[in-house]
Amino acid sequence: MKTSKLILLVFALVAMQLSFSQTKKKDEKKETTTKKTNDNYLDLQTKSMTKLFGSDLSGNPDGKSIGYLEFLEKMDLPPEQKTELRHQYILQSKTLTQKQKDSLGQVFARQLEQAQKEKLKN
């Protein structure tokens, strides 16, 4: 008697499982694919910086975000350094694959380290 009840219970559970697995739930959300609209890390960093310091770099956040090139123009740097940074940005954002961008990022990091060491020496 116990085995027949157990078999009926298992059969009922299997039948319920099969019936519920075939129906689509109404609450189920469609999977949305998010497009990566901007894979340029300089622009992404600039957006986070302008959220903190504002678009005019005064320290008062105003909710506006600017691109890297606009940010570069507002910075207090010598014109030749701005030109070099602009060329590096264009090279990184337009013509390179992701692997090449990673390699270029490592080169930029080395240049930054060298500049910091030179600054400490002076």
In this prediction, residue 62 has a pLDDT band, given cuts at 50, 70 and 90, of confident
Q: Please tell me the predicted confidence (pLDDT) of residue 36.
A: 47
Stretch 88-97: mean pLDDT: 74
Kindly list the distances between the CA atom of residue 69 and the CA atoms of 2, 31, 85, 93, 105, in Å, as whole numbers in the listed order: 78, 35, 9, 12, 17
Stretch 37-61: mean pLDDT: 75
Stretch 57-74: mean pLDDT: 80
Write down the residue that tokens 């622009």 correspond to: 43
Q: Is the pLDDT of residue 44 over 70?
A: yes
Report how far residue 54's alpha carbon sits from residue 117's, in angstroms, rounded to the nearest whole number: 30
